[in-house]
Amino acid sequence: MIKIAGLSRRAGSKTILESVDLEIHPGEIFSFIGPSGSGKTTLLRLIDLLDMPTTGTILFDGIDTAASKAVRLSIRRRMGMVFQKPAVLNTTVSGNVAFGLKFRKAEKSEIESRVHEALDIVGLLHLADQKAVTLSGGEMQRVAIARALITRPEVLLLDEPTANLDPVNTELIEKLILAIHKKFHTTIILSTHDMIQGQRLADRMGVIMNGRIVQVGSIHDIFYRPEGRDIARFVGIDTILKGVVESNDGGHARISVNNTFLEVITPCKPGTRVALFIRPEEITIAIRDGDLPKTSVRNQIQGMITKMVPFGPFVRTTIDFGSHLTALVTRRSADELSLKVGMTVIAGIKATAIHVIMDSG
């Protein structure tokens, strides 16, 4: 659907995007994910042909979008975009929704029926004649979605569609995006800094950091097999350990981390310096009570609790065993085990829950 090659954008001497290569498949929901200021908005604006790239090409359905102004307009008219901060024009809600078709010089009767349809989809029919500027943030965002939808775009771009919304409206908008995708099979490209939202909505994700796409893949790949330290931190992996492979028996490796040995699954050869990523919810905590129970958990690491921070219904518990591990323990089990700072505990980690990459730094 969209093929991006060697795309970069500089503003003055500042590089905002650097050598982006990416392909968006027809009908998929693709999410850009990355911290604020990483270049997500810039990339979406380039895809919507609002700005010109400094270098690189964007092919839309095989057409080079840099061909001419007329080509850019005609391709832009096959897309719809919803901005992070929705801007409504000083007219009624239906007046706002109608713009796209008005610009395309559609028949009046067609505009009316499509406005009705679009407002129905976003659930704002009852506000059709109200002044758009009087709406709440969530309602404005739905107007913006209806407005982008009315031209039946082949590609719908959404820039942080829920960044300024409360949880209730966020859920509403997310449901709406999925409903639109189901109904029209629109290719949807969205950006978010909320990885959980990316997980809820997207088929594939692209992680953007400092103006570069650092990893593209399925949600599972990015969550469990991040290709770098920064990505790992961003997707919520608190525990990043450095170690050296001691031995490797057909993929079952022993890794030394500060003289503690961990069993992992990796093809890395003995002597390789590696980084280990462990998601906090993959670490279990037990207290020593006689003999250790026999379990499938290969790694049982003894350490001392140094920090406990409440995190919603969980407690983020940091354990010092020479290096640090962070585990997400439910508040209930923390209470049952009466975990406290200073206690010695056993952290359990399955070999398969440890993601290993070669350590470059």
Contact by Cβ (8 Å): 71, 65: yes
Rounded least distance, CB 188 to other proteins, Å: 15
Sort strands 314-320 and 324-330 into parallel, antiparallel or unpaired.
antiparallel
Dihedral of the alpha carbons of 266, 272, 277, 282, in degrees to the nearest 10: 50
* Residue closer to other proteins, measured from CB, 43 or 274: 43
Residue ranges in contact with other proteins by CB under 8 A: 45, 48, 50, 73, 76-77, 79-81, 83, 85-87, 89-90, 99-100, 103-104, 133, 144, 147-148, 151
* Residue closer to other proteins, measured from CB, 80 or 198: 80
SS3 42: helix
* Residue closer to other proteins, measured from CB, 72 or 273: 72
Rounded least distance, CB 76 to other proteins, Å: 6
* Residue closer to other proteins, measured from CB, 97 or 347: 97
| CA atoms of 181 and 165, how far apart (whole Å) | 21
Enumerate the β-bridge partners of residue 268. Answer: none
Rounded least distance, CB 9 to other proteins, Å: 15
* Residue closer to other proteins, measured from CB, 152 or 204: 152
267: phi then psi, degrees, rounded to nearest 5: -85, -5
Rounded least distance, CB 204 to other proteins, Å: 23
Q: Where are the alpha helices (DSSP H) in the chain?
A: 40-47, 69-76, 93-103, 108-122, 137-149, 167-184, 195-201, 219-224, 229-234, 331-336
* Residue closer to other proteins, measured from CB, 81 or 127: 81
Enumerate the β-bridge partners of residue 324. Answer: 320
Enumerate the β-bridge partners of residue 344. Answer: 304
Rounded least distance, CB 88 to other proteins, Å: 8
| CA atoms of 146 and 128, how far apart (whole Å) | 11
Rounded least distance, CB 50 to other proteins, Å: 6
Rounded least distance, CB 48 to other proteins, Å: 5
Name the residue among 289, 285, 280, 241 with its Cα closest to residue 261: 241
* Residue closer to other proteins, measured from CB, 9 or 279: 9
Q: How far is CA 316 from CA 68, 232, 280, 311, in A?
A: 54, 17, 8, 6
Rounded least distance, CB 244 to other proteins, Å: 52
* Residue closer to other proteins, measured from CB, 106 or 343: 106
Dihedral of the alpha carbons of 163, 164, 168, 174, in degrees to the nearest 10: -30
Rounded least distance, CB 103 to other proteins, Å: 5
Tokens of 97: 């929704």
Name the residue among 164, 143, 34 with its Cα closest to residue 82: 143
* Residue closer to other proteins, measured from CB, 85 or 288: 85
